[in-house]
Amino acid sequence: MEMDIYTPLEKHTQDIYTTVELTKDKKEGQMEADPVPPANVDYRMCLFNILLFLSTLLIVVVVIIAVYHFTHYKEMTKNLSTLQFQFEQLNKIVRPLDKFCPLREPPALVKMCSVCPHNWLLFDSKCYLFSTDKQNWYDSQDTCTSEGGHLVIIETKEEQDILTALLEIKGSEEKSYWIGLTDEIKEGHFVWVDNKPLDPQKAFWGKRQNDNGTEPDHWTDELNNPFGQNCVCLQKKKPSSGWYGLNCENQKKRICEAAASTFPSRI
Ligand SMILES: *[C@@H]1O[C@H](CO)[C@@H](O)[C@H](O)[C@H]1NC(C)=O
Ligand SMILES: *[C@@H]1O[C@H](CO)[C@@H](O)[C@H](O)[C@H]1NC(C)=O
């Protein structure tokens, strides 16, 4: 069995390699196929070129995007400063309106605008009208009502101060105006025209010059003033401007008050 795998040598010139020619031929054939064929070189070159092309393309695209973004960035920066400038200009125009349209809900940017009837003065969402004609206290209240308001009800120190200041502006003409306060029903019990009693903490009575006495003094005079001084005027006076009791039948100018109309507007 062992002898079978070897071909017996018949001549001395023969060697074992001649007997394995077939095998050797096959090996040589393989050896010849080993060098890279030209087709393969083309393929690699082609792949390299494609990669080179793609990388170049990528770089070009990146550069284009960068340039595009850079120019856009510059344009947007320019646009931003233009918008900021326009915003400031608009703000300059709109800001004075804040007096009439204060922000109602700051986060929602809703403004509430207040307006008064023609010739009425707006202060803190109330409208005031200083009359030029004179009437007694009752007719004054009726006239104010017919104009959509009432004789003024002074509720705060600020309101008292602004009305006194407005009185000062009116110069040397009339310095006495009816306000919506009276103690006609019960002496010494002052009520406003809305039937609310006067809060003594928010009373701004004047001080008389002749005796330094303070109002109200419940003064009566049998002849000229038998019913006392039940109605109240705001008077510009020295040493102190303030409220003074007068006979309700006196002919005086008046200060009417009305709520300002409000309307919402979006900004
Ligand atoms: C800049 O503003 C102009 C108009 O004012 C507009 O046409 C342009 O698109 C804006 N540019 C950018 C980048 O927003
Ligand atoms: C009123 O009071 C002031 C100081 O408060 C005083 O100077 C003046 O003399 C007083 N006048 C009268 C009439 O009492």
Q: Give the pLDDT confidence of 145-194 residue by residue, as tens digits.
A: 999 999 999 999 999 999 998 887 765 566 899 999 999 888 888 999 99
pLDDT (mean) for 106-110: 69
Q: Which ligand is nearest to the CA of 71?
A: 1
For ligand 1, what atom is nearest to the CA of residue 82? 5
Residue type for 262, please? T
- C-beta separation of 228 from 218 below 8 A: yes
Residue 24 pLDDT exceeds 70? no
| CA 208 / ligand 2 centre spacing (Å) | 10
Which residues are 233's β-sheet partners? 178, 244
- Ligand 1 binding pocket mutation candidate from 70, 74, 75, 83 (most atoms within 8 A of CB): 75
How many Å apart are CA 252 and CA 231, to the nearest integer?
11
- Ligand 2 binding pocket mutation candidate from 207, 208, 209, 212 (most atoms within 8 A of CB): 212
- C-beta separation of 176 from 235 below 8 A: yes
| 193 compared with 40, residue with greater pLDDT | 193
How many Å apart are CA 32 and CA 256, to the nearest integer?
120
Report the Cα 92 to chain-centroid distance in Å.
Answer: 14
For ligand 1, what atom is nearest to the CA of residue 78? 1
- Residue 9: which of 1, 19, 24 has the closest Cα? 19
**Cβ of 249: how many Cβ atoms within 10 Å?**
13
Burial class (CB in 10 A: 0-12, 13-18, 19+), 141: buried
CA-proximal residue: ligand 1, atom 6 (nearest)? 79
- pLDDT at residue 36 in the model: 56
- pLDDT at residue 196 in the model: 96
Q: And the tokens for 6?
A: 């070897």
pLDDT (mean) for 116-127: 86
For ligand 1, what atom is nearest to the CA of residue 75? 13
- pLDDT at residue 98 in the model: 72
| CA 212 / ligand 2 centre spacing (Å) | 6
3-state secondary structure (DSSP) of residue 96: helix
| 72 CB near ligand 1 (under 6 Å) | yes
**pTM greater than the 0.85 cutoff:** no
Confidence of residue 256 (pLDDT cuts 50, 70, 90): very high
Sheet holding 261-266, edge to edge: 103-105, 110-115, 261-266
233: left (phi over 0), alpha (psi -120 to 50) or beta: beta
Residue 49 pLDDT exceeds 80? yes
Provide φ and ψ at 250, rounded to 5°: -60, 145
